[in-house]
Amino acid sequence: MLDVKDLRSAAERLAGRFRSMPQSRLRRGAAGEGLALARELAAQAQRLEFPGGQVRLMPDEGVFAVGDQIAVAGHELAAALERRPELSAVRDAALDRIEAAAKRCGL
């Protein structure tokens, strides 16, 4: 079984930072960055869960929902990876994407 605790933790940590971020900062671009990350993680989870299926785009639910969207997408990807130890590179790439998004947002 692939250890995905670090992926869940990283997604939750970043989600928490987005949840506590001031509206002004979210509107200055952080929310867009967070939504892009959430969409990327969600799309990767869908590709793993439904190979060959159509990837559905995570909707833009507003700046205050981005933290929750990151958390959900991170947990979905972790669940999709959990029983796939051969995909540790996918987990590592997701962790890198989370870290890069945090840096781009100054977190």
Domain residue spans in the chain? 5-104
Residue 29's pLDDT is 96
What pLDDT was estimated at residue 1? 83
Per the CB < 8 A criterion, the answer to whether 2 and 89 are in contact is: no
Spans of the chain below 50 pLDDT: none
Could you tell me if 55 and 46 are in contact, meaning their C-beta atoms sit under 8 angstroms apart?
yes
Instruction: Give the helix/strand (H/E) hosting 79.
Output: helix 66-81
Grouping H, G, I as helix, E, B as strand and the rest as coil, residue 55 is coil
- Total Cβ atoms within 10 A of residue 47: 15
- Do 34 and 18 form a contact (C-beta atoms < 8 A)? yes
Assess contact for 14 and 38: CB atoms under 8 A: no
Instruction: Please give the pLDDT value at position 83.
Output: 86
Neighbours of 72 (CB within 10 A): 18
Q: Which of 90, 91, 107 is nearest to 99 (CA)?
A: 107
